[in-house]
A and B are shown apart, each in its own frame.
Chain A
Amino acid sequence: MDKFTTHTGIAAPLKRSAVDTDQIIPAVYLKRVTKTGFDDALFANWRQDPEFVLNQPAYAGASILVAGPDFGTGSSREHAVWALRDYGFAVVLSPRFADIFRGNAGKQGLLAGVVSEADIERLWRALDAAPGVSMTVDLEAREAVLGELRVPFEIDDYTRWRLIEGLDDIGLTLRDEDKIAQFEARREAWRPRTLPVQ
């Protein structure tokens, strides 16, 4: 997982609330056997509509999603986060996230920042006024900056630390690599081994 300090990119307004994981990635895509390459699956149904925000040329290459409240509700599928990440999103801002989605996002290096409803509306207005404009998300300062507009966002300290250090769950565990190796050194000889084949 890459370290996350600040991110600058095109911000796209998603003016919907209660975007559930089935909308983020429809169930038919769950049959795949990979953890990457889900960019085509993101909002697959909505993207069939030429008017959909991500289909507008101004938002090509968007990497920050500014969404309405209750983002990521419904099934706990991690694929929702993979699809957002694979499409190119590094940040999602919303007044409220479903807990499981927020947990999954933190694990995969996708910043899920909680912004007040009033500030989301302000961001939407600013984006409407200048479609395709870049925004900077500063994780250290917990602030999103769009031209003159600066809005604070919330993220818990632990997730923020993990993102800044670039640690996924596995990376975090591997910080204790020496302890794992010590444990392995004292494991008893009778414990099972699958190799060599008996």
Chain B
Amino acid sequence: MSTPVSDTAVIPERPRTLAEKVWDDHLVVKGENGQPDLIYIDLHLVHEVTSPQAFDGLRAEGRALRRLDLTIATEDHNTPTLDIDKPIADLTSRTQIETLRRNAEEFGVRIHSLGDREQGIVHVVGPQLGLTMPGITVVCGDSHTSTHGAFGAMAFGIGTSEVEHVMATQTLPLKPFKTMAITVEGDLRPGVTAKDIILAIIAKIGANGGQGYVLEYRGSAIRSLSMEGRMTMCNMSIEAGARAGMIAPDETTFAYVEGKPHAPKGKDWDDAVAYWRTLPSDEGAVYDAEVFLDANELEPFVTWGTNPGQGVSLSEAVPDPASFADPNERAAAERALEYMDLAAGTPMKDVPVDAVFMGSCTNSRIEDLRAFASVIEGRTKADGVRVMVVPGSARVRLEAEAEGLDKVFIDFGAEWRFAGCSMCLGMNPDQLAPGERCASTSNRNFEGRQGKGGRTHLVSPLVAAATAVLGHLASPSDLPAREKVGL
């Protein structure tokens, strides 16, 4: 058992989990008699949708934003991905973005606006700037803040009142979360990715299975993942109902952070790494719940229903609602199949799509774009399928262009767009038409999420790419061999 070092007053003399260590090291006030703890927030990410009322609340009370140097804003949910130099047509979208710009200026918040190199989805921007790092607390008025847990940070989404609370005090009153260990051991088969692991986990524990928990992903299959893959996994923790997801920092993490614009340097870097090495859960640390998954068994995964827990392996068929023992699940499956216009027993690979969306904070980093490009390169898209590739940030877009990926996308017949949330939630014009079916690398397949009446199948970038080639749900192994470029 290691003895973690901390200068906060309360250090329990027992083995602790990663989540407990980060929590303990951010205790400003320990709550007594059932009162919440007061937790310090290291990094506050702000975007245009959930911040306006928080700024207005500060203004109404005459309060300042306490730590401008721990706050950063970007525009993402409403930003157009075409013609970004023209005024935004939708009035609500434009108002939200203009309000953020005004507020940022009035309060002095660093902001990255449309057209700026660092603009992009808030959960892509934090890590690429090196602001997201192990052992810190990160909040944002957005549920997918869980993404940042991939670094061994405690990162979670908050509501607008909490956004105001963090702005005014840089703290939050919180009750400790429960912890769940999700251990994934083994080697992933070729073509199986982080997205498939997390979809399989959510299908296993259910869309509410993580409620109240911080999920800690561990085991050899997790350690073998890149940072991008880890972010994909932690991103979707919220789809299992969890407060947050975390992965212990290791050499992969340090290598990713090192050299990023805001990463610690010199002695600070050495101090940081020394501390970060103490963060992994201690031997014998007790979790409130444990789940195991065999990585060797996993196949590419796809959802058939209208919540992220309704998924199967791509080689399987649409399940029969009658096969669900739980009456609520059965009823939910019936409703989902009706909405999705799918018949039980249909092989998933026989399901044709109208659109493919490659993007969102789940899968829009450079590695995701490379994976997508590696499959489509030298191939042409299926007739009648609309393919949209939306980088997570302006920086990712530039990086992709420097590598020539944009040409691969365009030659394939895909639309190469500017950065933002785009068709992940369709707050901008990027939406599905009613009845359209989409293979999407995003994280939510709720009814109407990608446009009213739209139907979403959540998949990995590799499956999205193969699907774009064949016009029906498919994995790269279903593709005929290419003439020139090998897989």
Partner of A169, one of B7, B43, B165, B261: B165
A residues near B168, Cβ cutoff 8 Å: 170, 173-174
A51 on interface, CB distance cutoff 8 Å:
no
> In the complex the two chains form, is B69's CB within 8 Å of A198's CB?
no
Please, which residues of chain A bring their CB within 8 A of the CB of B43?
192, 194
Number of A residues with CB within 8 Å of any CB on chain B: 31
**Complex contacts, B425 vs chain A, CB 8 Å:** none
Say if the beta carbon of B178 comes within 8 Å of chain A: no
Also in contact, A78 and B28, with CB within 8 A (given A36-B56, A190-B264): no
**A180→B170 contact, CB < 8 A:** yes
Knowing A192-B43, A192-B70, the reply to whether A170 touches B169 (Cβ < 8 A) is yes
A190 to B273 alpha-carbon distance, docked (Å):
10
The CA-CA distance from A67 to B162 in the complex, in Å, is 29
Contact B92 A183 (CB under 8 A): no
A141 at the binding interface (Cβ < 8 Å): no
CA of A193 to CA of B68, assembled, Å: 9
Q: Do A194 and B38 touch (CB < 8 A)?
A: no
Residues of B within 8 Å of A190, CB to CB, are 133, 264, 268-269, 271-272, 275
Chain B's closest residue to A172 (CB) is B173
Within 8 A of A (CB), among B45-99: 52-54, 56-57, 60-61, 63, 68-72, 92, 95-96, 99
User: How many angstroms from the CA of A36 to the CA of B56 in the assembled complex?
Assistant: 7
B56 neighbours in A (Cβ, 8 Å): 33-36
Q: Which chain B residues border A78 with CB–CB below 8 Å?
A: 160-161
Asked if A194 and B136 make an inter-chain contact with CB atoms under 8 angstroms apart, the answer reads no
User: A169 with B161: in contact, given A36-B60, A192-B70, A194-B71 (CB under 8 Å)?
Assistant: yes
Is B409's beta carbon under 8 Å from chain A? no
- Whether A192 lies near B42 (C-beta < 8 A) is yes
Among the interface residues A33, A188, A189, A195, which one has the most CB atoms of the partner chain B within 10 A? A33
Which A residues are in CB contact (< 8 Å) with B69?
A: 193-195
Residues from chain A with Cβ under 8 Å of B63 in the complex: 170
**Cβ of B477 to closest chain A Cβ, rounded Å:** 41
Complex contact B72–A194 (CB within 8 A): yes
B136 and A192 contacting across the interface, CB-CB below 8 Å: yes
Distance in angstroms between the alpha carbons of A173 and B96 in the assembled complex: 29
Give bound CA distance, A33 to B275, whole Å.
41
Report the bound CA distance from A170 to B272 in whole Å: 31
Q: Is B53's CB under 8 angstroms from A35's CB?
A: yes
Q: Which residues of B contact A35 (CB under 8 A)?
A: 53-54, 56-57, 60
Query: B268 contacts A189, CB within 8 Å?
Result: yes
**Does the CB pair B262–A193 fall under 8 Å?**
yes
Is the CB–CB distance between A188 and B262 below 8 Å? Answer: no
Whether B53 lies near A33 (C-beta < 8 A) is: yes
Give Cα A5–Cα B139 distance, bound, in whole angstroms.
36
Which residue in B99, B169, B261 is a CB contact (below 8 Å) of A198?
B261
Q: Which A-chain residue is minimally distant from B267 (CB atoms)? A: A189
> Considering the chains assembled together, what is the distance between the CA atoms of A1 and B57 in angstroms?
11
Given A33-B96, A179-B29, A186-B7, A194-B131 contact (CB < 8 Å): yes
Q: Choose from B28, B53, B71, B275 the contact partner of A183 (Cβ within 8 Å).
A: B28
For B, the interface residue count at a CB cutoff of 8 angstroms equals 48
B386 at the interface (CB under 8 A from A): no
* Chain B residues whose C-beta falls within 8 Å of the C-beta of A188 in the assembled complex: 268, 271-272, 275
Of all chain B residues, the one with the shortest Cβ separation from A78 is B161
Q: Considering the chains assembled together, what is the distance between the CA atoms of A107 and B71 in angstroms? A: 24
If A179-B28, A192-B131, A198-B261 touch, whether A170 touches B61 (CB-CB below 8 Å) is yes
The answer to whether the Cβ of A197 comes within 8 Å of any Cβ in the partner chain is: yes
Residue in A closest to B63 when the chains form the complex, CB atoms: A170
Q: Which of A34, A173, A195, A198 is in CB contact (< 8 Å) with B38? A: A173
Residue numbers in A under 8 Å from B133 (CB-CB): 190-192
Complex contact A179–B38 (CB within 8 A) = yes
A172–B172 CA distance with the chains assembled, in angstroms: 11
Q: How far is the CB of B110 from the nearest CB of chain A, in Å?
A: 5
Complex partner residue of B262 from A1, A183, A184, A198, CB under 8 angstroms: A198
How many Å from the CB of A162 to the closest CB on chain B?
13
Q: How far is the CA of A180 from the CA of B41 in the complex (A)?
A: 11
A33 to B54: give the CA distance in the assembly, Å: 9
Contacts of B272 in A (CB 8 A): 188, 190
In the bound assembly, the distance between CA atoms of A190 and B169 in angstroms comes to: 21
Q: A179 contacts which chain B residues (CB < 8 A)?
A: 28-29, 38
Known contacts A36-B60, A107-B161, A180-B171; A194/B269 CB under 8 A: no
Between B60, B130, B161, the greatest number of chain A beta carbons within 10 A of the residue's beta carbon is seen for: B161
Which residue of B has the minimal Cβ distance to A192? B131
Contact of B169 among A107, A174, A197 (CB under 8 A): A174
Inter-chain contacts of A1 with B (CB < 8 A): 61
Contact of A31 among B7, B42, B92, B173 (CB under 8 A): B92
> B300 → chain A, closest Cβ, in Å?
36
Q: Is B40 an interface residue (CB 8 A)?
A: yes
Docked-complex contact B171 and A173, CB < 8 angstroms? yes
Closest chain A CB from B171 CB (angstroms): 6
B60 contacts across to A, CB distance below 8 A: 35-36
A49 at interface by CB-CB < 8 Å: no
Q: What chain A residues lie within 8 Å of B29 (beta carbons)?
A: 176, 179
User: What are 30 A-B residue pairs whose CB atoms fall within 8 Å in the complex?
Assistant: A1-B61, A33-B52, A33-B56, A33-B95, A33-B96, A34-B52, A34-B53, A35-B53, A35-B60, A169-B173, A172-B173, A173-B168, A173-B169, A173-B171, A174-B169, A179-B38, A180-B169, A183-B28, A184-B40, A186-B7, A189-B268, A190-B272, A191-B136, A192-B132, A192-B262, A193-B262, A194-B43, A194-B69, A194-B72, A198-B129
Interface residues of A (CB under 8 A from B): 1, 31, 33-36, 78, 107, 168-170, 172-174, 176, 179-180, 183-184, 186-195, 197-198
Beyond A179-B28, A193-B69, A194-B72, 11 extra complex contacts between A and B, CB < 8 Å:
A33-B99, A35-B53, A173-B173, A174-B168, A180-B28, A180-B40, A183-B28, A189-B268, A190-B268, A191-B136, A195-B110
The 5 closest A-B pairs by CB, nearest first: A33-B52, A190-B272, A190-B264, A198-B261, A190-B268
